Amino acid sequence: MNLFSMHNNLSSFLSGDMKAETEKMLDALGYVPKDQAGAGQSKPEDIEKMKETAKAEAMAAGKEEGRKEGVEAAAQRAVKIVEMCETAGLPESKAVELIKSEKSDEELHQAVTDAKAAANDQHIQSTVSATGVGEANPVLEDAQKRAEAAKARMNG
């Protein structure tokens, strides 16, 4: 309410029906009498409905927030596992297997260590030996001659 309208309201108040003018002016100022203040209050059953609605909305919002956090955590876990497997030189299939598992961080580290150890535990066998190449080995022949000479000196 501006100063001009207040001046007009006061002028009307002073010149006319006091009760009607007073109510009009007080209403313009936003005044609500005590006996009418409760008229806008909600009933207890309405309040319960509002509480239930608010609770349901809060639960839905909490679930959505939890879902988002879960998706983010799962993505971070997958990236971590892929990096661990790449660092250890393990195949992509091992990373996929570990991502699908529900292992704890400690169990994941142990699984990667075990898989790396198993991959490094391969034995390499050669069919070529120092004496079995099929050709005369001059170093081996010389060693055999010296061994026979040393044996002869000891016996003789």
Residue numbers in the chain where pLDDT is lower than 70: 1-4, 7, 9-19, 21, 32-42, 121-134, 156
Q: Quick check: is 27 in a domain?
A: yes
Minimal CA–CA distance to 85: which of 112, 106, 110, 108?
112
Q: Quick check: is 3 in a domain?
A: yes
Q: Quick check: is 105 in a domain?
A: no
Residue 5 domain boundaries: 1-36
Q: Quick check: is 67 in a domain?
A: no
* DSSP label of 121: T
Q: Quick check: is 115 in a domain?
A: no
What pLDDT, on a 0 to 100 scale, did the predictor assign at position 66? 92
Q: How far is CA 82 from CA 68, 77, 109, in A?
A: 21, 9, 12
Q: What is the Cα–Cα distance from 95 to 81, expressed in whole angstroms?
A: 6
Q: What is the 3-state secondary structure (H, E, C) of 63-84?
A: HHHHHHHHHHHHHHHHHHHHHH
- Counting the structural domains of the chain, the total is 1
What pLDDT, on a 0 to 100 scale, did the predictor assign at position 77? 92
Q: Quick check: is 24 in a domain?
A: yes
Q: Quick check: is 120 in a domain?
A: no
What pLDDT, on a 0 to 100 scale, did the predictor assign at position 7? 64
What pLDDT, on a 0 to 100 scale, did the predictor assign at position 27? 78
If you search the block for the tokens 């099929």, which residue do you land on? Answer: 134
135 near 114, Cβ under 8 Å?
A: no
Q: Quick check: is 141 in a domain?
A: no
37 near 29, Cβ under 8 Å?
A: no
Give the global pTM: 0.45
HSE at residue 41, side-chain half, CA atoms within 13 A, is 8
Q: What is the Cα–Cα distance from 3 to 16, expressed in whole angstroms?
A: 20
What pLDDT, on a 0 to 100 scale, did the predictor assign at position 13? 61
